Structure 1
């Protein structure tokens, strides 16, 4: 997969010589709605003998036109993971745009003539609500009048689950509510994050439940505080775990937010490993216990629930 990192205005020699079908979107989450857009573009590319291209952005477009909170600046899929998902899907070329004020401010006519045309499209494909500029009418409904007969414009309708539109916004809301099973249904795969194993307070070891502390990027959107069934992948293998996102309130009222995972039946030292965590099921919220013994009793119950999940879903370690 070829990646073209683009800055607007484009340099004179920037372009792509082979004919393309371009799927347009930010694609944060790579959910079922995004997959429908990409699949339509992939089908069109195959029928037309063209390369499958994706036009996407290196950061949230909203950074250009509003002040965002630190939480809003997070991503469902960090860029390296999103690019990996594109490659797995069969994308031939990614047009990775630095989304700037100048890019956003180009007229629809310039967007067609000075930008899209550089990449030799025979068709562009996007969701019904996709916008490509800063004005309210820079949308898919109006794009054909600027394109003329230069290439085809294909709009993909909303994909729905339980009569609600599948969207990145909906997935973020469900993560904030701890509804990881709903999130995975909307994604069509487990929600996945990446981090590195670092040293923590090592309280879990003293309790008989040693944990791997996973340090994530500050830009990674995580599920809300609570305990979850997860798998952790590294070194070509997956391991069952129970993860806790929280502040260890049993021991401190003002501790930092941490992600700690007890890997079931696992004894190795894995400090420094880069791991991918698949979030599978919500077990419970964070509880402040009065004694360490009460916490251990709850951890015993959590472990049994985690083992039961594996017995019902044995394929999660495949």
Structure 2
């Protein structure tokens, strides 16, 4: 897969000679609804014998017109994760556009003429029914008008689970609530993040539950504070574990949020390793314990829940 990074205004000599089937969308999460769009485009590309391309953006369009804080500025899938998933889905080209004010301010007709027709040589453009691509009147209902028979337009209907639309907003809401089973159902795969193993306070070792401490990207959305069943990929191996994401309130009230994972049946020095963490099941919310003994008893129970989870999968 080739990733082509583009700043507006696109260079006048940039042009694809081969016609392309193009899927458009920000695709944060690349969830089942997004996959429906991309797989629709892929099927058309295969039928026509053409490459499959995706148009997506380097950040949320909302950054252009409003202040964003907290989880609003974070992503379900950061850049590397999104690109890996798109490649796995069979995408040939990604047009990775810097979503700037000037890009958004161009008229819909200019976007269609300058990007879809003159630069990307679109044969077919596929997007979700609610996709927009710039200033006002830039929606899928009006795209055939702007296309003026120069390319085909395919509008993909919503994907529904439990009679509700699969959407990035719905996934974000469930991540914030710790409903990881619902998140994974909407994604069509386990939610995961990546990071590097770093040194922590070594409290877990003192409790009989040594942990790996993972430094992750600050732009990555994470599940809500609590204890979870996870799997961790170190090198080419997967290990079962129970993760705690939170402030370790038993040891103080003002601690930073950390991600610590106790790996079952594991005893290796893995500092500096790059890891992938899959989130599978929420065991409980974070609790401030009145004593270390109570914390250890709870961790014993968490371990039993974790082991039972893996016995039943």
TM (norm. structure 2) is 0.99
Partner of 1:223: 223
| In structure 2, C-alpha distance between the alignment counterparts of 1:37 and 1:250, rounded to whole Å | 46
Residue segments in structure 1 that go unaligned for 5+ positions in a row: 314-318
Given that 2:235 and 2:274 are in contact with CA atoms closer than 8 Å, whether structure 1 keeps it comes out as: no
| In structure 1, C-alpha distance between the alignment counterparts of 2:150 and 2:167, rounded to whole Å | 30
Partner of 2:2: 2
CA drift of 1:247 comes to 0.5
CA drift of 1:17 comes to 1.8
CA drift of 1:70 comes to 3.0
Given that 2:190 and 2:280 are in contact with CA atoms closer than 8 Å, whether structure 1 keeps it comes out as: yes
Partner of 2:115: 115
1:1-318 equivalent positions in 2, closer than 5 A? 1-117=1-117, 118-135=119-136, 137-313=137-313
* CA deviations over 1:89-121 (Å, ceiling 9, x no partner): 110000110110111111111111111111111
- Corresponding residue SS for 1:250: helix
- Corresponding residue SS for 2:196: strand
- Corresponding residue SS for 1:182: helix
Given that 2:19 and 2:121 are in contact with CA atoms closer than 8 Å, whether structure 1 keeps it comes out as: yes
CA drift of 1:15 comes to 2.1
| In structure 1, C-alpha distance between the alignment counterparts of 2:76 and 2:303, rounded to whole Å | 27
* CA deviations over 1:137-178 (Å, ceiling 9, x no partner): 210011111111100110000001101100000000000000
CA drift of 1:13 comes to 1.6
| In structure 2, C-alpha distance between the alignment counterparts of 1:253 and 1:70, rounded to whole Å | 20
Residue segments in structure 2 that go unaligned for 5+ positions in a row: none
| In structure 1, C-alpha distance between the alignment counterparts of 2:229 and 2:16, rounded to whole Å | 45
- Corresponding residue SS for 1:233: strand
Count of aligned pairs: 312
| In structure 1, C-alpha distance between the alignment counterparts of 2:301 and 2:206, rounded to whole Å | 18
| In structure 1, C-alpha distance between the alignment counterparts of 2:83 and 2:240, rounded to whole Å | 26
- Corresponding residue SS for 1:10: coil
CA drift of 1:49 comes to 1.4
* CA deviations over 1:40-62 (Å, ceiling 9, x no partner): 00001011111100000011111
| In structure 1, C-alpha distance between the alignment counterparts of 2:16 and 2:169, rounded to whole Å | 33
* CA deviations over 1:203-251 (Å, ceiling 9, x no partner): 0000000011111111000000000000000210100010001100111
- Corresponding residue SS for 1:126: strand
| In structure 2, C-alpha distance between the alignment counterparts of 1:108 and 1:15, rounded to whole Å | 19
CA drift of 1:3 comes to 1.1
CA drift of 1:16 comes to 1.8
| In structure 2, C-alpha distance between the alignment counterparts of 1:44 and 1:54, rounded to whole Å | 13
Given that 2:107 and 2:135 are in contact with CA atoms closer than 8 Å, whether structure 1 keeps it comes out as: no
More displaced 10-residue stretch of structure 1: 10-19 or 162-171: 10-19
> Cα RMSD over matched residues?
0.7
* CA deviations over 1:267-314 (Å, ceiling 9, x no partner): 00111111000000000000111110100000000001000011011x
Given that 2:126 and 2:155 are in contact with CA atoms closer than 8 Å, whether structure 1 keeps it comes out as: yes
Query: Runs ≥4 in structure 1, deviation > 4 angstroms?
Result: none
